[in-house]
Amino acid sequence: MKAVVDKLHAAGIKAGMHTYACFINKASIYVTPVPDQRLAKDGNFTLAEPLAAEGNNVAVTEVTKDMPTFAGWDTRTSVTIQIDNELITYTGVNKQSPFAFTGCTRGALGTKATAHEKGAKVYHLKEVFYCFVPDQNSTLFTEVAEQTAKTYNECGFDMIYLDAIDGSDVFAGEKNAWYYGSKFVFELSKRFKKPALLETSLFTHHMWNARSRMAHGTIRSVDTRDL
DSSP for 6-32 reads HHHHHTT---EEEE-TT-B-TTSTTTS
Of 132, 153, 171, which residue is a domain's last?
Answer: 132
Q: Are residues 123 and 140 in the same domain?
A: no
| β 131-132/92-94 pair status | unpaired
- Residues 113 and 160 both lie in one domain: no
Cα gap 124→109, rounded to integer Å: 15
Residues 71 and 60 both lie in one domain: yes
The per-residue pLDDT for 40 is: 98
Q: Do 141 and 126 lie in a common domain?
A: no
Task: Please tell me whether residues 74 and 104 are part of one structural domain.
Answer: yes
Residue 29 lies in a domain: no
In-domain check, residue 54:
yes
pLDDT in tens, 110-159: 999 999 999 999 999 999 999 999 999 999 999 999 999 999 999 999 99
Cis peptide before 33 (omega within 30 of 0): yes
Number of independent structural domains in the chain: 2
Name the amino acid, one letter, at 23.
Answer: F
Per-residue pLDDT of 190-212, as tens digits, reads 999 988 899 999 888 888 888 87
Domain final position from 132, 159, 184? 132
Are 110 and 174 part of one and the same domain? no
Share of the chain above pLDDT 70, in %: 93
Look at the chain and count its residues. Answer: 227
What are the pLDDT digits (tens) for 161-180? 999 999 999 999 999 999 99
Residue 213 pLDDT exceeds 80: no
Q: How far apart are CA 193 and CA 93, in angstroms?
A: 48
Q: Is residue 145 part of a domain?
A: yes
192 assigned to some structural domain: yes
Asked if residue 111 belongs to a domain, the reply is yes
pTM above 0.85, yes or no: yes
8 Å CB contact between 125 and 81 = yes
Average pLDDT of the chain? 92
Are 154 and 120 contained in the same domain?
Answer: no
**Cα–Cα distance for residue pair 37/126, rounded to 1 Å:** 13
Does 31 reside within a domain? no
Residue 174 lies in a domain: yes
Q: Are residues 146 and 188 both part of a single domain?
A: yes
Domain boundary among 112, 132, 152: 132
Q: Are residues 50 and 106 in the same domain?
A: yes
Q: 206: domain range?
A: 2-23+134-226
- Give yes or no: residues 161 and 83 share one domain: no
CB of 188 within 8 A of CB of 196? Answer: no
125 and 146, same domain (yes or no): no
